[in-house]
């Protein structure tokens, strides 16, 4: 009898070890970490029409609704957290956030450092000025004061494009701050995402006196969602959810609500 009991105990201990190993492996994977929390912490900055607060203070926008729909497909809750855009990769790698989902431009450098989803939207960089300055800066920006969000594609254009070589550049904390600087006259030109101009420079808005210089655009690009490097399971699940939302028309429906349907590239 003692021998039988000893064998049973040994079997139970072996099973427990294997069960523990399985749980640890799952927790060690990026998707296991997110799934065990039950939430996906999403790093954002506030800018229309992607992520912003409506008149009641509720977070809304294209990226907000898109992320909510994907998380619903994945069976986790979205937890939106404001970040400093210039520190986004540090936040991601320290697990303060689980992804960057906020009009992130896909670049080779970012693909080398992060896992990035299938592209879902086209964008470009545009110059925004006071309405009376459209003609003035359409062909020449010599001596102009240019501003863009630090760490953004707009900053890369301001610092690297030949067109701005004789302009003076200053970084801003956000694209919204860049627009405020132009509106106040502190800066002459803000370089921002085209999709932001769609949501922000509309009639009746606080920025209705600002205009995009339609004759000039820079750095055509695509948006993706960034996750920690070597997160294949997370990436696979998110990409599958994006495809499903595109196939059933939900993604186009969300985009149309924010006048972004023409920018969507997932078909």
Looking only at the bridges linking them, the beta strands covering 189-193 and 145-149 are parallel
pLDDT tens string 119-174: 999 999 999 999 999 999 999 999 999 999 999 999 999 999 999 999 999 999 99
Domain boundaries, the chain: 30-121+223-263, 123-221
High-pLDDT (> 70) share of the chain, % = 90
Query: Is there a shared CATH topology between the 30-121+223-263 domain and the 123-221 domain?
Result: yes
Predicted confidence band of residue 2 (pLDDT cuts 50, 70, 90): very low
Give pTM, 2 decimals.
Answer: 0.78
**What is the token pair recorded at 151?**
């760490």
Integer Rg of the chain from CA: 23
CATH class of 30-121+223-263: alpha beta
**Is residue 210 within 8 Å of residue 129, measured between CB atoms?**
yes
pLDDT tens string 96-125: 999 999 999 999 999 999 999 999 999 999
**Domain 123-221 CATH superfamily:** Periplasmic binding protein-like II (3.40.190.10)
Distance (Å, whole) CA 94 – CA 233: 19
136: exposed, middle or buried (Cβ count in 10 Å: 0-12, 13-18, 19+): middle
Predicted confidence band of residue 26 (pLDDT cuts 50, 70, 90): low
Predicted confidence band of residue 204 (pLDDT cuts 50, 70, 90): confident
Helix (H, G, I), strand (E, B) or coil at 43: strand
Helix and strand element counts for the chain (H, E): 10, 11
Report the pLDDT value the prediction gives residue 199, as an integer from 0 to 100. 85
Residue with tokens 């900053």: 155
Distance (Å, whole) CA 173 – CA 175: 7
Distance (Å, whole) CA 45 – CA 52: 8
pLDDT tens string 39-90: 999 999 998 899 999 999 999 999 999 999 999 999 999 999 999 999 999 9
Predicted confidence band of residue 15 (pLDDT cuts 50, 70, 90): very low
81 - beta bridge partners?
A: 43
pLDDT at 234 over 80: yes
């Amino acid at each position: 009898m003692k021998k039988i009991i000893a064998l049973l105990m040994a079997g139970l201990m072996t099973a427990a070890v294997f069960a523990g190993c399985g749980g640890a492996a799952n927790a060690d994977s990026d998707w296991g970490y997110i799934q065990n929390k039950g939430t996906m912490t999403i790093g954002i900055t506030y800018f229309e029409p992607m992520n912003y607060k409506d008149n009641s203070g509720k977070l809304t926008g294209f990226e907000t609704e898109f992320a909510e729909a994907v998380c619903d497909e994945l069976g986790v809750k979205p937890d939106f957290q404001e970040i400093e855009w210039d520190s986004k990769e540090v936040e991601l790698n320290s697990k303060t956030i689980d992804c960057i989902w906020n009009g992130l431009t896909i670049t080779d450098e970012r693909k080398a450092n992060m896992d990035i989803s299938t592209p879902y939207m086209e964008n470009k960089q545009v110059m925004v000025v006071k309405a009376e300055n459209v003609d003035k800066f359409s062909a020449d920006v010599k001596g102009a004061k240019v501003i863009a969000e630090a760490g953004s594609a707009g900053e890369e254009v301001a610092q690297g494009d030949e067109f701005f070589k004789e302009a003076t550049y200053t970084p801003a904390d956000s694209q919204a701050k860049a627009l405020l600087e132009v509106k106040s006259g502190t800066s002459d030109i803000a370089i921002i995402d085209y999709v932001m101009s769609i949501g922000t420079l509309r009639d009746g808005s606080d920025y209705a006196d600002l205009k995009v210089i339609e004759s000039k655009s820079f750095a055509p690009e695509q948006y993706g969602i960034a996750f920690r490097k070597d997160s294949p399971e997370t990436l696979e699940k998110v990409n599958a959810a994006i495809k499903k939302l595109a196939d059933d028309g939900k993604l186009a429906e969300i985009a149309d609500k924010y006048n972004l349907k023409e920018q969507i590239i997932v078909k």
